[in-house]
Amino acid sequence: MALLEFDRKLLRRCLNRESQAWEAFVDRFLGLVLHVVRHTAKSRSIRLSPQDEEDLVAEFFLTVVRNDFATLRQFRAESSLATYLTVVARRVVVREMLKRFSGPRANEVAEPHDPYSPAPRADFASAETQLSNREEVERLMHGLTESEAEVVRLYHLEGKTYREISSAVGIPENSIGPTLNRARAKMRQAMADSSV
């Protein structure tokens, strides 16, 4: 899709730091960026709080203004501005998620009753980021028991809560976390074995 004339003018106004240009830019693309944040989180089975969403959206807009709008100056008008910003937003969001949902607190497990708590953060440390890839998860599930595979499928691929998984598979809710941990350990071992 070609660059819209409206967006061409908006881009020029931002780069020239014209009055109200930045506010118009944010108004125009805020919904798009929020959609990217939510879609990226959902595809990686991360449950974001409203504050997490705001932080990630803000980080995108900070990235855009950083170094005198370097991100906008790199735009070559070979696609629509929305398409370009979607790619930029996805990169920013993935980078920030990897930073936020890994590190010293990586082994925390979310409380299942909190709808905004993040998914277990261990999935986002080092090589384990591969688990966000649906095909990789499905391939690694072959080494799991039937019940482990079903719990992983429902949690990571369908985004179900512990309570919903408990109802679906007939396992006590307080057993879902240990089952996921066991399954993840097997999947990490399978990843390590396949990379040797």
Q: Which segment of 86-90, 134-138, 163-167 scores lowest on mean pLDDT?
A: 134-138
Note the pLDDT of residue 187.
Answer: 80
Q: Per residue in 17-45, pLDDT tens?
A: 999 999 999 999 999 999 999 988 888 88
One domain, residues 91 and 160: no
Q: What's the mean pLDDT in 142-161?
A: 80
Summarised one tens digit per residue, pLDDT across range 122-142 is 333 333 344 445 556 667 777
54, 69, 100 — which closes off a domain? 100
Cβ 177 vs Cβ 170: under 8 Å: no
User: Any long-range contacts for 95-103 (C-beta under 8 Å, 24+ apart)?
Assistant: 96/55, 96/56, 96/59, 97/40, 97/41, 97/44, 97/46, 97/56, 97/124, 98/124, 98/129, 100/52, 101/46, 102/126
Instruction: Give the predicted TM-score (pTM) of the model.
Output: 0.53
pLDDT of residue 124: 35
Q: Which domain holds residue 147?
A: 121-195
Half-sphere exposure in the Cβ direction for 122 (13 Å, CA)? 14
Residue 146 lies in a domain: yes
The closest alpha carbon to 188, from 147, 134, 129, belongs to 129
Q: What is the pLDDT of residues 73-85, one digit of tens each?
A: 999 888 889 999 9
pLDDT at 26: 93
Per-residue pLDDT, averaged over 98-114, amounts to 48
* Same domain, yes or no: 94 and 63: yes
Choose among 192, 196, 97, 136: nearest CA to 152: 136
Is residue 13 over pLDDT 60? Answer: yes
What is the pLDDT, as a whole number, of residue 107?
A: 35
Residue 188 domain flag: yes
**Do 84 and 21 belong to one domain?**
yes
Tell me the mean pLDDT in the region 148-176: 83
Do 92 and 125 lie in a common domain?
no
**Together in a domain, 148 and 90:** no
29: CATH = 1.10.1740.10
Which of 1-5, 40-44, 54-58, 178-182 has the least mean pLDDT?
1-5
pLDDT class for 109, splitting at 50, 70, 90? very low
Which pLDDT value is given to residue 58?
Answer: 92
The whole-number pLDDT of residue 28 equals 93
- What is the full DSSP assignment across 133-188? SHHHHHHHGGGS-HHHHHHHIIIIIT---HHHHHHHHT--HHHHHHHHHHHHHHHH
Picking from 100, 132, 148, the residue at the C-terminal end of a domain is 100
What CATH number should be reported for the domain holding residue 141? 1.10.10.10
Question: Number of structural domains, the chain?
Answer: 2
pLDDT of residue 74: 92
Do 81 and 131 sit in the same domain of this protein? no
Q: Across all residues in the chain, what is the average pLDDT?
A: 78
